[in-house]
Amino acid sequence: GGGGSGIKAKSLDGVFCLGADAEESMQRAQNAKSADEPAIQVLGMCRAADALYEQGDLHRAAREVEQAQGLIQEVGFEEGRAISMVLVARIYAKQGAMSTADQLDEALDLAADAQEKFKSLGAKKCEAAAWLALAMARHANKLYDEGNLAAKEAQLLLQQMDDKVGEAEVYKVVIDGYLMQNRCQKAASMVKKARALYVEIGDRLKEGEIFHKLGQIELKAYDEAKAFSALQTAQQMFREAGANKKEAEVLGTLKDYQLRKGRVSEAVQICQKMVTAHNRAGDTRAEGRAMMELSKLLIDQGQVSLAKKTADMAYKICSSARDGDAATKASDLRNQVKNESLKEEIRSSMDINGHVAHYPIQPVLDFELNKKVPTALHELGQKGL
C-alpha cells in the first residue's frame, strides 16, 4: 500500500530477529529510524521493538510499536501495519495473565490476519514470525494443540530457509506451551531438540539459555538434583560469555525456588550474587531492586543491622537510577528496618533491665502507630486530660 510501495519482501524479513543477535538488530534499527523514507523509518521502529522484545523488555517494545503505528497511520504503509500486528500479538501473548481477556482474544486475530498478509507478499520469515505469534496467542488462550499446529507451520517455513536459530525459537514456544500444561517430560524432550540445533550452530549463549530452561522444567518436575545441575551449567556458560544479565536470571530462578522451599539463608546468598551480577552488567535499576529484596530477606533472618545498611544502599542506587517507584519502596523499607532495629533495642533493654523494671509482656511496636501516639497525647493535653 501507499507508503510501502517499493519495499521488497527481503527488507520486511529483515525486521524479525527470531533468536538472532538482538543488539546487532538494534543498531540497524537505529540507522533505519533516521532514514528519509517514512516506510524505512517504520521498519526501523518495528525492528527496534522486535529487538527489545527479544531482550525481554516488553514495556519499551510496546512503546516503540505505538510510535511505529502512529507513523503507519500517517503514511498508510500496509506491510508495516502487518508487522506491527505481529509485534502487538506477541507482547499480549507473552504477558499472559497480565493481559486482559480482550487483549488475548485480539492477539489471535492480529497474528492470523498478519500471517495471511505475509503469505500473499511471499515474505517467508515474516510469515513464520506471524505463525509463531499465533502459536503463542493460542497457548495463552489455552488452545494448546492448535498452538502447536501453528508452531509446526512456522517450523516448516524456517526449515525451507535453513534458519536453524529460528527453528530453535519454535521449539522454545512449544516448550512454554507444554510447561503451561505441566507436561514436563514433553517439554524436556523439546529442550533436547533445541539444544542439538544450538550445538550444531555453535552458539554457547543460546545453549546456556536452553540449560536454564531445562533447570526450570526439572524444578517443576520436582527433580532438584537434575535442576541444580542444569542451572549450574547455564550459570557457568553465561559467566564464561560475560553475559551477566543472563546469569542474574538463572540466579533469580534459584532464589525463587529456595524461597518457595523456605530456605532463607540459601536465598540470601543467591540474592547477594544477583546484586553482583546486575552490578557487573551495569544495570543499576535491577541492582537496586535486587538490593531491596536482599534487605527484606535479611530482615526475615533477623540480621537487622546488615538489613539497614542494605536498605540504605538500595535507596541510594534506586535514586541514582532515577527509578522513582523503587526509590519510594526502598524509603519505606528503610523505615521498616528502623522499626525493626527499635524493636531490637527495646528487647535488649528489657533483657538488661528486666530485674529492675516492669514491662508489658508484648510491646506494641508499629512505626505507623509510633507516629500517631505523640499526636494523640498532644490532643489529650489540649483537652486537659
Task: Give CA–CA dist 154/22, Å, rounded.
Answer: 20
Q: How far apart are CA 245 and CA 234, in angstroms?
A: 12
CB 154 within 8 A of CB 131: yes
Q: Which pLDDT score, from 0 to 100, does residue 6 have?
A: 56
* Residue pLDDT, tens place only, 55-88: 888 889 999 999 999 999 998 899 999 999 999 9
CB half-sphere exposure, 235, CA atoms < 13 A: 18
Cα–Cα distances in angstroms (integers) from residue 117 to residues 10, 12, 113, in the given order: 15, 12, 6
pLDDT of residue 94: 94
- The whole-number average pLDDT for the span 369-378 is 72
Q: Are 136 and 147 in contact (CB under 8 A)?
A: yes
- The overall average pLDDT reported for the chain is 89
Q: Virtual CA dihedral for 128, 134, 137, 142, nearest 10 degrees?
A: -120
Query: What is the reported pLDDT for 359?
Result: 60
pLDDT above 90: percentage of residues in the chain: 60
- pLDDT exceeds cutoff 70 at 191: yes
- 375: pLDDT strictly greater than 80: no
Among 184, 232, 173, which residue's Cα sits nearest to residue 208? 232
Torsions phi, psi for 107 (to 5 deg): -55, -40
String of DSSP letters for 357-380: ----SS----HHHHHHHHHHHHHH
Evaluate if residue 3 carries a pLDDT over 50. Answer: no
Residue type, position 328, single letter: T
Using the predicted structure, report yes or no on whether residue 1 has a pLDDT greater than 70.
no
Question: 487483549: which residue's cell?
Answer: 103
Half-sphere exposure (Cβ direction) of 185: Cα atoms closer than 13 Å: 0
What local confidence, expressed as pLDDT, does residue 11 receive?
81
The candidate with the shortest Cα–Cα distance to 307, out of 339, 280, 283, 345, is 339
Residue type at 52?
A: L
Question: pTM of the prediction?
Answer: 0.75
DSSP collapsed to 3 states, 196-260: HHHHHHCCHHHHHHHHHHHHHHHHHCCCHHHHHHHHHHHHHHHHHHCCHHHHHHHHHHHHHHHHH
pLDDT interval class at 361 (50, 70, 90): low
CB of 294 closer than 8 Å to CB of 312 = no
- Averaged pLDDT for residues 101-127: 96
Alpha helix ranges (H) inside the chain: 9-13, 22-33, 38-54, 58-75, 78-95, 101-121, 124-140, 144-160, 164-180, 184-201, 204-220, 224-241, 244-260, 264-281, 284-301, 304-320, 324-353, 367-382
For the segment 345-349, the average pLDDT, to the nearest whole number, is: 78
